[in-house]
Amino acid sequence: MSEEKPPQPKLPPTNALDNSSSHEFGNWFEYPVRVQPHHTDYAGLVWHGSYIAWMEEARIECLRSIGIEFVDLVAIGCDLLVVELSVRYHRSIQLGMAVVVKTRMAEVTGVRINWDYAIVSTDGQELYVTAKVSLVALDRERGKIMRQLPPSFKDALAKISALNNN
């Protein structure tokens, strides 16, 4: 008599996310990327780590767009460390394709800053990756988490928060 195997756990369906329309990302910062050979594996598909690098680039450019230069944060002794990362891969991206990395600051709680990401086709019809990243502010000199964000940084983040809520 053969034993029945218990059913394997399944990921939730992604079809609800597959047809995301551009209005869902209305107040998100957009960072265009074209897939270069160094972004891919031997099969010409984007290597999973490339997506994370693109998300960081998009976040840095988003901050720059509101007047925060990362180099200035470092100069005042503040670094932003990734403490949590969640990535969901929906579809592969291939060599030569153009995509858009969309990002927005989701929430600031004390010195923790949460960001949302979506990597989509240039026409917004295909969803390739969704992700969430949590950062904390670190005092570079002491090597410890800051008790509060530097005032200039906190003020600039308030600007981006206001943009996201409109």
Residue 53: phi, psi to the nearest 5? -60, -45
Q: Output the 3-class SS for 126-161.
A: CEEEEEEEEEEEEECCCCEECCCCCHHHHHHHHHHH
* Residue 41: active-site member: yes
Rounded CA-CA distance 80/14 in Å is 31
Catalytic site residue from 18, 41, 123, 155: 41
Quick check: 123 and 159 in contact, CB under 8 A? Answer: no
- H or E element, residue 108: strand 98-109
Quick check: 30 and 101 in contact, CB under 8 A? Answer: yes
| Helical spans, DSSP H, in the chain | 15-18, 48-65, 70-75, 151-164
Residues labelled catalytic? 41
